[in-house]
Chain A
Amino acid sequence: MLALLPQLIVSGIATGMLYALVALSMTVGYRATTVVNFGHGDLVMIGGYACFVLGVNLGLPFAPAFSIAAALLFAIGFLIQRLLMQPIIAGPHLSLAMMALAVGYAFRGAARLEWGNDILKLPHPYPTATFFVGGVVFTMDDLVISGFVLLLLLVLFLLFNATPIGKVIQAVFQSQRGAALVGINVRAFHGVMWGAGAALGAAGGVLLALIVPLTPDIGVWTLVRGFAAMTLGGFGSLPGAVIGGMILGIAEKVLGFYVSTVFIDITAYLVTILVLLIRPKGLFGQQATIRI
């Protein structure tokens, strides 16, 4: 029994990297606007479908299909922020959350109308192979996804912490009015950051579509796991999103194998509830709650 543990951890990390990618893309949007995008899972889903249409239906090679899908999602994210979120940005959080949720629903409905319950799968752009290291199996997917996520984490971390853009992001996160006073174009910034979050979400959708079948409902699945990873790592923390995703992935596999298969499905929910009840700021987050 215990001999399988290393294998479970490895495949847990591989799955967790996907959650991490979703959580990273949500963190980018959150850090920019302090608004959590409840429709983000559906943007991930649309990103996967966009790449599928470009790559399979139109026959483009993988790299251009991937890039165009990401660019398209950037535009969609930007437009959602500018046309739908910006007009109510000063309103109650309830409206903001509902708006994002409703936009996501509309996308899901559109995807279901077009693709119904077809189960689509993206062809692999790289040779699929498996490696054995000391009795543990790695697949090419594991390596590609983990590599991509770690690289992305590095790029985002540098962008957020070591560039002037990072200072702008921090300024807007702390005080939008203050940022506007020192000459930062907060509106344009919000739009661009939502676009960036959506584009990263699209990257997540494409990688997801390589290993699991694409369905319109994949958005909810990703949203819940992205939230759980973000919550566990701490809202707004980039390394936290990745580590949270990895822990979630490992926990799903290990609990699912040793305790009960139920845990494969419910770990994300349990993690979300327990972390928010016991330690709302997560592992690396800033203070998150209002106490009265």
Chain B
Amino acid sequence: MSGAARHAPVTAGARAASKLGRLFWLVPLLLLPVPLFLDQYQQYVANLVLVYVPVGVGFNVVVGNLGLLAFSNVAFFGIGAYTSGILMLKLGLPWWATVFPAGVMGGIAGSAASVPALRGVRLFYLAIMTLAFGELMRWVYIRWEPLTGGSFGMAVPTPSAFGWSLDAESHKFYAFLVLATAVIALTNRLLRSRFGRAFMAIRGNEEAAAAMGIPTDRYILLGFAWGGFAVGIAGSMYAALVGHLSPPSFDLSELILEFAIVMVGGLGSLLGSVVGAVVLTAAPEFFRDFPGFEELVFGVLIVAVILFLPRGLASLLARAHPALRDRYYRE
């Protein structure tokens, strides 16, 4: 074996990406002054974008990187949101103390949702089952009235972090920025490790991955749990942002928004999830006055992306600069 081959092959893209990786931490710093330029409503929308960043990131790990047809993401989102809400309302915990439990509950739900996948349920069967799981959770929110407030929903107390009240939208922005950045950074670590490579192998050919000695079950469980954790944290942020949780927020139209984020941003791309969240989260706010328009636009948009841009907006960015190319997803 020659000397050059023994080292990991360093491509121009990878070198540029590692340089870019250090620049990653600059992005949240550059976003710090953003609240100075936004009014109250714009700030709310910006916060919503930050909520949907971990939603997209977590969902993408399961759907994009693991390549499993799991539609249970909205359930993790709802479980995270209600966990935070219930802990704040019933136990009087401050919001910051509920973020991690919300993520853990989301992770537990994710592990539970992976059970059918571990039992060999795949493809459409898995999709149907996880869809049923998500819808079932909505009935739990409606029926478990003492805790969730039933169909009327529950009012979430004003969030606070370490003694500071996050009553202004701009305060929430900073808290959310920290959380979203942490989820992105941790997911990036995960995808760059052997876990991410195992995900890629499973996605490419599960039988072959298993034959090579990759414990596919363990990685699938881990992928689901991490996805659920990230989305659960997003749910906790959502609870803090909107201040009122009700079951219709976690129905199938929520699912299509989350799907659209992953698909339009770029399947299996971390950068894509972020781009998708930025591009699409604000959209429902514009369509509020025209019921149905949102569904129509998202439906057509996803169809168009699947037909003409299968790797989403992230693939357009990758064309612009090799450093933005995605290394955890291969056709």
Residues of A whose CB lies within 8 Å of any CB of B are 35-36, 38, 84, 87-88, 91-95, 97-99, 101-114, 116-117, 216, 220, 224, 227-228, 231, 235, 262, 265-266, 268-270, 272-273, 276-277, 280, 288-292
Contacts and interface: CB of A to CB of B under 8 A. Distances in A.
A192 to B, nearest CB: 21
A273 B129 contact: yes
Interface residues of B, number: 49
B276 to A, nearest CB: 13
A112 B292 contact: yes
B207 A36 contact: no
A107 B296 CA distance: 7
A109 B293 contact: yes
Contacts of B292: 108-114, 116, 216
A231 B206 CA distance: 24
A241 to B, nearest CB: 14
Given A109-B293, A116-B291, A93 B298 contact: no
A93 B295 contact: no
A290 B136 contact: no
A276 B300 contact: no
A54 B129 CA distance: 36
A107 B298 CA distance: 11
Contact of B263 (A84, A98, A111, A116): A98
Instruction: Tell me the interface secondary structure of chain B in the complex.
Output: helix
B24 interface: no
A108 B294 CA distance: 10
Nearest to B136: A269
A194 to B, nearest CB: 15
Contacts of A107: 299
- Choose among A88, A107, A111, A265 the residue with the greatest number of B CB atoms under 10 Å from its CB: A265
Given A84-B303, A84-B307, A220-B252, 15 more contacts: A88-B310, A91-B310, A98-B259, A98-B306, A101-B259, A102-B302, A103-B303, A105-B296, A109-B297, A116-B292, A262-B143, A270-B136, A276-B129, A277-B121, A288-B125
B136 A289 contact: no
Given A110-B292, A289-B121, A101 B256 contact: yes
26 contacts: A84-B307, A88-B307, A88-B310, A93-B124, A95-B306, A95-B310, A101-B302, A102-B259, A103-B303, A105-B298, A105-B302, A106-B296, A106-B303, A109-B292, A109-B296, A110-B292, A112-B295, A224-B135, A269-B133, A270-B136, A276-B121, A276-B128, A277-B115, A280-B125, A289-B122, A290-B120
Contact of A266 (B123, B139, B301, B302): B139
A8 to B, nearest CB: 21
Contacts of B298: 102, 105-106, 109
